[in-house]
Structure 1
Amino acid sequence: MKLNFLTKGLDQPDFVARAVATVSIAAAAIMLGLLFWRLSEFLPIVFATIVIAVAWRGAAESFGARFGIPTGLSILTVALALVVGVVVTLMAFGGQLVRQYDEVALDVPAAIELIQRHVEEHPWGRFVEKFVLDVDYSKAAAPIAQHVGAALGSLGNAFAMTLFAIIGAAYLAADPKGHAERVVALTPAHHREKVSRFLQRSGGSLRQWLILQLYVIVMNAFFAGVALWAFGVPAPLALATISGALAFIPYFGSIIALVVGALVALPHGVDSAALAALSIGAASFVEGYLITPFLQSRSLSVPAVVLLFCMLAFGALFGAMGVVLAVPATVVLSVAYEVFAETQKA
């Protein structure tokens, strides 16, 4: 009798339906997890394509609205203007940039060797090497050369992925509404309104963030370049472009730029290295604590602690590409959370 009481619900159709649904959801989750793991190197490229498409479409819409040009023609015009701008910049500063980047490539290994030599000559350096770390600093140059060679060897793959992202972004920018409708059509009917709202909001938030980052990169490069040039630091143009590009990555980017600048200037003297670090650090301070907060107050802001942990998480999942794309991904996740919270309240 007791056994019948416990098992009488097993013959009911609704119990079977729930069991089948649970197993199906679990199987789908496992399959998605395996797919996510297999495509871990490909997913950042897809997201980068989406970010490029959002920026491209936003610039085209602004240009078209200002001059009364159809969207398709404005997309092509923006692409041509970007190509012309890059070509003109390279014609004007290309030779100087190449020379300064060559200087950077020579000075960084020289600075590392100089630091190694001073560490080995200092009594504390020999103590740490022998009794604490058990590391031979004299053998540290070989791994550096290997890493440089590996980086050069991956340039071809990076170029191919960049080309793929640009081509994919062109398709997305040409018809964002059509692609969004296809994504919505793939979702269950009772979730389509939420997905549509999420896609619309995330596109607008990404566009705002990209405009903010454009100002950040330009301002950081400008302030760093002026300070480096005024202090007579070697390769000021190359270091300014490096500092501006790394400003795309909050927190870590400024630290990397400061270290690179100090290493480049170190073979020319400790004073030069200190001035390089001071120039890049001051530019990052002005950009990070004065300009960026002002711009964020007029657009959007992600809590710093959330951003920091997301950068660490995406870096662990996707490597360097994950760190670069962590901020826009966090913006998209914050929009998804807002849509979910609104749905729960409703």
Structure 2
Amino acid sequence: MKINFLTKSIDQNDFASRTAVVAMIAAATVAVVFVVWQLTDLLPAVFATILIALAWRGVAGRVSRLLGLSQGVSLALVALGTLASIVVALMLFGGQLVRQYDEVALDIPAAIAMLERLVEEHPWGRFVEKFVVHVDFSKMTTPVAQQFGAFLGSVGNGLAYGIFTIIGAAYLAADPGSYAAGVIALTPASRRTDMALFLDRSGAVLRQWLFIQLYVVAMNALFAGAALWAFGVPAPLALATISGALAFVPYFGSILAMIIGVLVALPHGLDNAALAALAIGSASFIEGYLITPYLQSRSLMVPPVVLLFCMLAFASLFGTMGVVLAVPATVVLSVAYGVFAENR
């Protein structure tokens, strides 16, 4: 009887201990999820810092091999060269670009008001307004303005985070090995080899992807700008920069660029709106169906369906920055899955 009692007591203590461990793990998991949820604005900035550091380090590595300089001097030269390029571009085109962006800011609300007036005046618009959706189109300007203001606010926050991102990227690019070693040290001993492999592969793939995307952005802006200027569309330089920047976001970026181009050109006539759509659409077609597939054939390919749903998920979690960073984040997840699959 004593042996049975002792055995039962040991089993109860063991069960209590395991229950306590499970409860602690669950509590720690909930705490981590809560902290991550509270840091949804910070996580995209951290990931952007890593991307900038990778690009910076990659360009500096090429400069170092080409000129035979040390890595630190190459990093400084790349930073100074980038800053000088921005200053020269602003000196040459800054005033014109500011004027054209002012024109864009005035033309988009005017185009929206014009579309609302056309819908209000058309019998079909009145029918939809009264009998189908019960929406007053004349009051749609307010939510559009609110959404536009929210977008500008997110851009402002992005610029504020960008300053800290560049500073963090400088530290990370200067000594990436120490930070990688710290991540590996925090990994369980049985998974440190996998973590090292993941860091190496993801860094290489992200660096290659970044160079491809920067090339795509430049080509899209060049083609769109040339076509807009040739067609005589208003604000060609501003629309070209918008089209190029939105080329960083697959699928949705080109559609949004065309909508913006049409809205900017619409107050100047339907022919200008059609030409704007043709110019930006042609540039997006050349970039999306000729240049990008050729370049991405040499890099990691992500299935379009997976990429599309990942973009929607990251947009829901992180907003505008989530959309911008969804593709590289999906690439990293693909690398992680590849490493996991290999070791299974």
- TM bin, normalised by shorter chain, reads over 0.9
TM-score normalized by the length of structure 2: 0.94
Stretches of structure 1 lacking an aligned partner (at least 5 in a row): none
Q: Give me the whole-angstrom Cα distance separating, in 1, the residues matched to 2:130 and 2:252.
A: 31
Whether 2:301 is the aligned partner of 1:305: answer no
* Structure 2, unaligned runs of 5 or more: none
Q: Structure 1 pair 116/74, CA: closer, same or farther in 2 (3 Å)?
A: same
| Separation in structure 1 between the aligned mates of residue 297 and residue 146 of structure 2, nearest angstrom | 45
SS at match of 1:325: helix
Aligned position for 2:107: 107
- Correspondence for 2:200: 200
Q: CA deviation at 1:47?
A: 0.8
Aligned counterpart, 2:270: 270
**Structure 1 position 40, deviation (Å):** 1.3
1:71 matched to 2:71? yes
* Partner residue, 2:165: 165
CA change 1:9–1:319 in 2 (3 A) is farther
Matches within 5 A, 1:189-268: 189-268=189-268
**Are 1:48 and 2:18 matched, yes or no?**
no
Q: Which residue of 2 aligns with 1:288?
A: 288
Q: Counterpart in 1 of 2:59?
A: 59
User: 1:145–1:12: structure 2 CA closer, same or farther, 3 Å change rule?
Assistant: closer
The alignment of Structure 1 onto Structure 2 pairs a total of residues equal to 341
Distance 2:110 2:64 in 1: 50
Out of 205-214 and 140-149, give the one that drifted further.
140-149
Q: Which moved more, 1:222-231 or 1:257-266?
A: 222-231
Q: Are the counterparts in 1 of residues 154 and 320 from structure 2 also a CA contact under 8 Å?
A: no
* Separation (CA, whole Å) in 2 of partners of 1:205 and 1:32: 28
- Give the drift of 1:33: 1.1
Taking a change above 3 Å as real, the CA distance of residues 150 and 310 of structure 1, as seen in their structure-2 partners, is: closer
Percent of aligned pairs sharing the same letter: 67
Aligned mates of 1:10, 1:112 — CA distance in 2 = 75
1:319 corresponds in structure 2 to 319
Deviations 1:116-151 (A, max 9, x none): 000000001011112222222222223334444455
| CA–CA separation in structure 1 for the residues paired with 2:280 and 2:52 | 28
Equivalent residue number for residue 39 of structure 2: 39
> RMSD in angstroms over aligned alpha carbons?
2.0
Q: Structure 1: how far apart are the matches of 2:309 and 2:49?
A: 24
Aligned residue runs from structure 1 range 65-214, under 5 A: 65-152=65-152, 156-214=156-214
Distance change (3 Å), C-alpha of 1:276 and 1:28: same
* Secondary structure in structure 2 of the residue aligned to 1:234: coil
Q: Which of 291-300 and 10-19 deviates more?
A: 10-19
Tell me by how many angstroms 1:12 deviates: 7.9
CA distance in structure 2 between the aligned counterparts of 1:152 and 1:338, rounded to whole angstroms: 38
